[in-house]
Structure 1
Amino acid sequence: MEEYKKRIIKIIQYIEDHLDTELSLEKVAEIGAYSPFHFHRIFKLITGETLQNYIIRKKIEKSALYLSLRKGVDIKEIYMDLGFANHSVFNKTFKKYYGKSPSEFRKSAPESFHKILQVESKNGQIDTVFRQYLCTIENLLKWRTMNLKIKVTALEEMHLAAVMGLGLSQVEPSYTILLDWAKKKQLFPRDNVKMISVYHDSFKITPPDKVRIHACMLLDDQLKEQEGEVFPETLEAGKFIIGSGEVTLDDFEQCWASLFLWMNENHYSIRKSFPFEIYHSNFKDHPEGKMIVDFCIPIQ
């Protein structure tokens, strides 16, 4: 827990101290000794915001403070110092948070506005934020202990029949296409059939509705050629971190974030391959919508 405390304090403090610079995901992840590949998941789960949204919000909050405190300073100087490209972008973003333009805010900001912020700061505002985030991490670690069994093991090569979908909303339709195909081939239903979702893009760099997710079925023999929308896919043999548990669909984000934290704790590095989920049961058959899932991260 102390290690997480150090990392979170370092990350949040670094952001606070460098709002006037370019804060890339890669740079902030490096400060916290995380890999960019999974830092975005961990940060969002802990703070409730993406890194980009968090940084923008902090910049706008700081600009509001400057507008209140430095009434003789030109607005352009304020937004330029905080890295906004032009007045239009700053104006639009500021309105989103405060419901009025920067100039309107400056005119209407009460004299006590900066005093309130100063009192909050003196009372340990940043420390309060740290405690809030550390509590989130502590809860995540407890949740992981209660809900996931984690192991590192080698998996053999897997031959799959796959259907590509773009975004989470297309996962279920992709599986419908796959199962219709499998029924015609008399591959479904059958005992111990395994369905697998393979993530071919990172939510970090690809818009959520464009992330390629392959809905797959494990086959005994390799599919020789594409059949309609169903095509062959092979998952390479190798070493994996596998977190197994009976969870709901709403738990998936916590499962992945928990595994990435575990990976860091145990000094593993992700391999250039695709993470995937193996489903051992169907949530539709469970009264509480739970399913048994293996979350698999390829490691070196």
Structure 2
Amino acid sequence: MHRVLAHVDAHLAGTLDLATLAAVANFSPFHFHRLFAAWTGETLADYVRRRRVETAAVQLLAQPRLSVLNAALGVGFGSAEAFARAFRARFGAAPSVWRAAQRKDDQADRKIGQAGRPAPHDDGSTMNTSPPADVRLLDLPPVRIAYLRHLGAYGAPLQRFWARSVAPWLVLHGRDGRITYGISHDDPGVTRAPACRYDAGVALADGETPGRDELVAELPGGRYAVLRFDGPVDRIGEGWTLLLRDWLPGTGLQLDARPCFERYPPDGGYDADSGRLRCEICVPVAPL
């Protein structure tokens, strides 16, 4: 089922019918349809429609000059009208109206935050409230990972997930001290919290055989925009916002279908005593 969800995200503009996705899952279409609905709580058609609309919503926010029609076509809708109906059903407003309201709210929140908290760097963070100038464009190799999945809200639940599930799992398999990854498959500002998917992964060594019951995937390589974050864990969302909504729109680049992730160095990651997080925020990009 994880393979099917990854296939959907990677092929939103293509054919995502029952027969195609049943073949990805190695089930008959009849059994796959029933299992998918039982496992996700959504019918296949509803899930695909939601992922298409939510992915387009993220693109509309990250690319202010992207037309509604191109956003619709890019995620597999046949017309702007069909997209607008599905978008309104999900978000309660037309795409252009929703985008304008979201960006206005972002700007208002940023101004309020600037007035209501100490000046940048007072907390020792390397982040500030200006568009980041130190973003690097890097070509990263693909990485084979073993991972655990968290389904639900981000933020504090993810900290508990790492502490109670991921850290013991890494120690159990002798993988503590390696590069680890936090892979966000959904934007919590767009996707409802219960449906947000997050994978905590660790790089596997060459030739390493994972456990029979472990989940394994390949984190795609290619061009990424990379921003270094070093600060309080509860400010990590600012880093994502600055990168996706402030830096990206003026670059001539766009998001592609690969997942966004945080990469934690062996000597970094989250320090529970200080509440600080050290990582690299990695966003997959491609030319417009």
TM-score normalised by length of structure 2 = 0.53
**What SS class does the counterpart of residue 178 from structure 1 fall into?**
helix
CA contact (8 A) 1:242 1:296 kept: yes
The one of 277, 281, 284 equivalent to 2:271 is 284
Is 1:253 the equivalent of 2:241? no
What's the CA shift for 1:269? Answer: 0.5
Is 1:299 the equivalent of 2:285? yes
**What SS class does the counterpart of residue 254 from structure 2 fall into?**
coil
**What SS class does the counterpart of residue 172 from structure 1 fall into?**
helix
CA contact (8 A) 2:132 2:242 kept: no
**Aligned equivalents of 1:152, 1:247: Cα separation in 2:** 22
The one of 231, 234, 256 equivalent to 2:218 is 234
CA contact (8 A) 2:147 2:199 kept: yes
Instruction: Extract structure 1 runs of 4+ deviating beyond 6 A.
Output: none
TM-score normalised by length of structure 1 = 0.51
Pick the structure with more helix per residue: 1
What's the CA shift for 1:29? Answer: 6.3
What's the CA shift for 1:147? Answer: 7.5
Is 1:27 the equivalent of 2:96? yes
What's the CA shift for 1:235? Answer: 0.9
Residue-by-residue CA offset, 1:36-83 (whole Å, 9 max, x unaligned): xxx95x55542349xxxxxxxxxxxxxxxxxxxxxxxxxxxxxxxxxx
What's the CA shift for 1:25? Answer: 6.3
Is 1:47 the equivalent of 2:108? yes
CA contact (8 A) 1:195 1:279 kept: yes
CA contact (8 A) 1:245 1:293 kept: yes
Q: Report how many aligned residue pairs link the two structures.
A: 182
- Equivalent position of 2:143 in the other structure: 158
C-alpha RMSD over aligned residues: 3.5
The 5-angstrom pairing of residues 209-220 of structure 1 reads: 209-220=194-205
Give the letter aligned to residue 185 of structure 1: H
Percent of aligned pairs with the same amino acid: 14
**What SS class does the counterpart of residue 202 from structure 1 fall into?**
coil
**What SS class does the counterpart of residue 194 from structure 2 fall into?**
coil
**Aligned equivalents of 1:283, 1:185: Cα separation in 2:** 20
Computing the radius of gyration from Cα coordinates, the structure with the larger value is 1
**What SS class does the counterpart of residue 153 from structure 1 fall into?**
strand
The 5-angstrom pairing of residues 1-300 of structure 1 reads: 24=93, 26-28=95-97, 40=102, 44-48=105-109, 143-144=128-129, 149-167=134-152, 168=154, 169-175=156-162, 176-188=164-176, 190=177, 193-221=178-206, 227-228=212-213, 230-260=214-244, 261-280=246-265, 281-284=268-271, 287=274, 289-300=275-286
**Aligned equivalents of 2:143, 2:210: Cα separation in 1:** 16
**Aligned equivalents of 2:272, 2:109: Cα separation in 1:** 31
Gaps (5+ residues) in structure 2?
A: 1-63, 65-87, 121-126
What's the CA shift for 1:258? Answer: 0.6
**Aligned equivalents of 2:282, 2:191: Cα separation in 1:** 20
What's the CA shift for 1:250? Answer: 1.7
Gaps (5+ residues) in structure 1?
A: 1-6, 8-21, 33-38, 50-131
